[in-house]
Chain A
Amino acid sequence: SQQGEEDPQALSIQEGENATMNCSYKTSINNLQWYRQNSGRGLVHLILIRSNEREKHSGRLRVTLDTSKKSSSLLITASRAADTASYFCATDASQAGTALIFGKGTTLSVSS
């Protein structure tokens, strides 16, 4: 079953604009991760935020986490055509182990 639900399902922007994707989840978590997938290929890990963190930055990426609302957002600033991909949030599924529960993803299209 899906834990995270990303919003919007699809997003189209111009190069240079910012892109914001949201993720909601259902149960308590230890951490939340964001991944990128290009054209049905493997997933690339972008950033991990722990449940006791509220915000995290990595280059042009900014992630926020609100555990009271069970939601997270991923902001990509100054988007580039190369950012065109699907973005997934993933939460830990168990007390131990590496199993992740993924949302259905947001498809981002950046046009030049």
Chain B
Amino acid sequence: KAGVTQTPRYLIKTRGQQVTLSCSPISGHRSVSWYQQTPGQGLQFLFEYFSETQRNKGNFPGRFSGRQFSNSRSEMNVSTLELGDSALYLCASSLIQESYNEQFFGPGTRLTVL
């Protein structure tokens, strides 16, 4: 069974640009969550999607948005990039929408904002 895939793996952007990251969950998984990891703030929850609906959202500005498609694939978008958005963005999928369900993480997309 293929794991969670994230594309692209590395990305370099400049301030003010926007970026779209993609996540393909494990086949059959309907819940997708996104996390941002930085050295200073650690791992922080961005949002969670289940059956194409955003179910939870972390404490991030509106520049961060996401969506989920009918095949459970998810994208997140960051507009008007700032230097502080440089981070590893991790996507996790799980079979059902319950926190006690094991979450499978992808390898991440490393975003560098110059």
Contact = CB atoms under 8 A, between A and B. Distances in A.
A30 B104 CA distance: 19
A97 B45 CA distance: 12
In the complex, which range does the number of interface residues on chain A fall in? 20 to 34
A82 to B, nearest CB: 18
Interface in A53-96: 88, 90, 92-94, 96
B103 A45 contact: yes
From A35, A42, A98, residue with most partner B Cβ within 10 Å: A98
A33 to B, nearest CB: 8
B97 A98 contact: yes
Interface string B15-35: 000000000000000010101
Interface string B40-73: 0011110010100001101100000000000000
A22 to B, nearest CB: 16
B99 A99 contact: yes
A92 B42 contact: no
A97 B88 contact: no
B98 A96 contact: yes
A102 B99 CA distance: 13
Contacts of A42: 4, 90, 105-108
B100 A93 contact: no
A73 to B, nearest CB: 19
A43 B55 contact: no
Nearest to A102: B43
Contacts of A103: 42
B99 A30 contact: yes
B6 to A, nearest CB: 8
Pairs of residues from A and B, 10 with the lowest C-beta to C-beta distance, nearest first: A92-B99, A102-B43, A42-B105, A43-B105, A104-B42, A42-B107, A97-B56, A99-B56, A99-B45, A31-B100
8 contacts: A33-B103, A40-B108, A45-B105, A94-B56, A97-B48, A97-B50, A98-B33, A102-B43
